Amino acid sequence: MKRIKKLITIIIVIFIALSGSFVIPVKASGITTMSISGTGITAGASATSAAITPTITFTRGNSVAPADVVTIVLNGTATSASIAQADVTVGGTCSGTVAMTTVTHPTSNPTLAISGITCTAGAGTVIIAASRLTAASSGGNYSIIITTPVDYGAFLYYVGNTNQVKVTATVTPTLSFTIRNTADSAEQATVSGLKTCVLGVLTTTAVGTCSYRLKVSTNAASGYAVSYKSDTRFTNGTYNFTDAAIGGSGTTITAGTEGYGIVLTPGASSSGATIARDNTNFGATAGTAYRITQTSGPYPVYTSNGTNAPSGTDTTNTALVAHQVAISAATPTGNYTHTITYTASATF
Cα 237–Cα 241–Cα 246 angle in degrees, nearest 5:
125
Tell me the per-residue pLDDT of 231-274, one tens digit each, with 9 for 90 and over: 999 999 999 999 999 999 999 999 999 999 999 999 999 999 99
| Maximum distance among all Cα pairs of the chain, rounded to whole angstroms | 156
Tell whether 283 is covered by a domain.
Answer: yes
**Among 96, 131, 159, which residue terminates a domain?**
159
Nearest to 143, CA basis, from 100, 114, 109, 104: 109
The DSSP bridge partners found for residue 322 are 211, 263
The CATH number covering residue 64 comes to 2.60.40
CB-based contact 62:148 (threshold 8 Å): yes
pTM here? Answer: 0.68
Cα 171–Cα 173–Cα 178 angle in degrees, nearest 5:
135
CB-based contact 260:241 (threshold 8 Å): yes
Instruction: Name the helix (H) or strand (E) containing 249.
Output: none
Q: Are 222 and 252 in a shared domain?
A: yes
Q: Are 201 and 116 in a shared domain?
A: no
Q: What DSSP state is assigned to residue 4? A: H
Tell whether 8 is covered by a domain.
Answer: no
Burial (CB < 10 A; 0-12, 13-18, 19+), residue 103, is buried
CB-based contact 105:125 (threshold 8 Å): no
Return mean pLDDT, the chain. 92
Domains held by the chain: number: 2
**Among 159, 192, 215, which residue terminates a domain?**
159
Tell me the mean pLDDT in the region 212-240.
Answer: 97
Q: Is the pLDDT of residue 18 over 50?
A: no
CA-based Rg of the chain, rounded to a whole angstrom? 43
Q: Is the pLDDT of residue 63 over 90?
A: yes
Query: The domain containing residue 82 runs over which residues?
Result: 29-159
pLDDT at 21: 38
pLDDT at 29: 64
Nearest to 77, CA basis, from 164, 126, 125, 140: 140
For the ranges 19-33, 43-57, 103-117, 227-241, the lowest mean pLDDT is seen at 19-33
Nearest to 111, CA basis, from 145, 152, 68: 145
Q: Which positions ≥6 away from 40 have C-beta within 8 Å?
A: 46, 47, 50, 51, 52, 53, 135
Q: Are 118 and 221 in a shared domain?
A: no
Identify the three-state secondary structure at position 131. Answer: coil
Percent pLDDT > 90 in the chain is 89
Tell whether 21 is covered by a domain.
Answer: no
Q: Are 99 and 213 in a shared domain?
A: no
Tell whether 83 is covered by a domain.
Answer: yes
Q: Is the pLDDT of residue 104 over 80?
A: yes
Tell whether 333 is covered by a domain.
Answer: yes
Tell whether 256 is covered by a domain.
Answer: yes
Q: Are 192 and 155 in a shared domain?
A: no
Q: Is the pLDDT of residue 127 over 90?
A: yes
CB-based contact 65:148 (threshold 8 Å): no
First and final C-alpha spacing in the chain: 109
